[in-house]
Structure 1
Amino acid sequence: MKSATHQRKLWMAGTGLFLCFFLVIHLLGNIQLLLPGEEAKQQFNWYSHLLAGNIIIEVIAYVLYASIIGHVVYALVVTRKNKLASGKKYKYDRRSSASTWQSRNMGLLGTIIFAFLVIHFKDFWYQYKFTTLPLDEKGNKDLYTVVVAAYKEWWYVVMYEVAMIALGFHLLHGFFSAGRTLGVYHPKYIRWVKVAGWAYTGIITIGFMLIPVYVHFTKA
């Protein structure tokens, strides 16, 4: 029978991988903000409407919310239990005395990301779901204008960039940690796991960091 600690690690790995999948979908949607003015507006609003109006996607969205909450709660539980057990700060990678910066600071990185998510959900998701937004020419809620207005604020862009840097470090550590938990971090495959981890982290982090900067300097 698997220990409670291992079960918690499996839950962390499972929810983390689901969130990784969501980030790919989210990035593909946000890339539409890089299109020329009116085309970007129509495409992005259509994409937002598609996500909000499809029952399957709605179900997946609630799974996503549950995964975020579960991921955060289990991270706090694991951290707390390890602190009580050792009397020291939780070390995420105990396989070597030499740990990476991100493994020693996952608590800080997670706090930055969580704070950003609260603001991000309030500014975009909450407004789209629970406020009355104007409609675009095709009758879709005009979330595009809300997003552009936010990204025109320099402080919002700076906050976004800091959060994405934190996300990048978090993803890099989480990817390798999940690989170990799921048993694929084997000497035979370790090279490919590392390549996949760095490639995924680089694409996601740079992709998300590029969008608000581009919008800030190019959109009216």
Structure 2
Amino acid sequence: MSWISNTFSSSIGRKIVMAATGLFLCSFLVVHLAGNFQLFKNDGGLAFNAYSEFMSHNTIIRILEIGLVAGFGFHIYEGLTLALKNKAARGTNYVSDHIEQNSPWHARSMAVLGSIVLFFLIVHLYNFFGTLRFGEPIKDSQGNENAYALVVDAFHNPLYVALYVLAQLALLYHLLHGFQSAFQTLGLTHRKYTPAVKLLGIVFSVVVCAGFASMPIYFYFFN
């Protein structure tokens, strides 16, 4: 089994883990965004509360959460490890430095962008996950935990709205590089299909991040 540990402790192995977990987390973003669009239903939050109740108490979803937490954990750990190794090696390899200087700024700032998203995620989980799982939130007219009320309250806080939008901007640039880079790392490239993958990455990044950012903006200014 030593070849497995050696492979995944190498730079190439770490990049493979980063790519695989990154694409997995992209699928989570799609599911999470689709569920959160229930917020826009004009029903006083009943649909969103029902969705939140299902996600919080369904046994299968709870089991899948373990995989999600593991995905986040591996992605964050490997990302930080690679960033520290790259920082330590910087200045000792002229070719690598030259390539880095000619890459887009967001490609050189993945660790910083990821750290902004991580900080937001911690605050976000504390505000919502912590309250719903360990607090005593009020119930709606259907007897579900009123997660909608928590959202409305949070999205009327200008500091939280600013943090939320900033995090989506950071996530946007993180995805712009990470999405296509993941395909390249996994060897899923071809001169015929790579342009389509790049376009898909741009569309995915913009749509997902704009979708998430639209929620705090809508509730702060229009609700």
Q: TM (normalized to structure 1)?
A: 0.91
CA distance in 2 between partners of 1:88 and 1:127 (Å): 48
What is the match of residue 163 of structure 1?
167
Which aligned runs of 4 or more in structure 1 are off by greater than 3 angstroms? 85-89, 91-97
Deviation at 1:81, TM superposition (A): 2.1
Deviation at 1:78, TM superposition (A): 1.1
Checking the alignment, whether the CA contact within 8 Å between 2:39 and 2:45 is kept in structure 1 is yes
Alignment of 1:146-161 (within 5 A): 146-161=150-165
1:116 to 117, 120, 129: 120
Checking the alignment, whether the CA contact within 8 Å between 1:102 and 1:173 is kept in structure 2 is yes
SS in 1 for 2:212: helix
Q: Matched residue pairs, number?
A: 216
CA distance in 1 between partners of 2:182 and 2:199 (Å): 15
CA distance in 2 between partners of 1:83 and 1:97 (Å): 14
CA distance in 1 between partners of 2:208 and 2:65 (Å): 19
CA distance in 2 between partners of 1:103 and 1:40 (Å): 42
- Aligned sequence identity (%): 38
SS in 2 for 1:66: helix
**Structure 1: any 5+ residue segments left out of the alignment?**
none
Deviation at 1:93, TM superposition (A): 10
CA distance in 1 between partners of 2:179 and 2:20 (Å): 11
CA distance in 2 between partners of 1:148 and 1:61 (Å): 25
Checking the alignment, whether the CA contact within 8 Å between 2:100 and 2:108 is kept in structure 1 is no
Deviation at 1:84, TM superposition (A): 2.8
Q: TM (normalized to structure 2)?
A: 0.90
**Structure 2: any 5+ residue segments left out of the alignment?**
none
CA distance in 1 between partners of 2:98 and 2:28 (Å): 29
- Supply the RMSD in Å over aligned alpha carbons: 2.2
Deviation at 1:97, TM superposition (A): 5.6
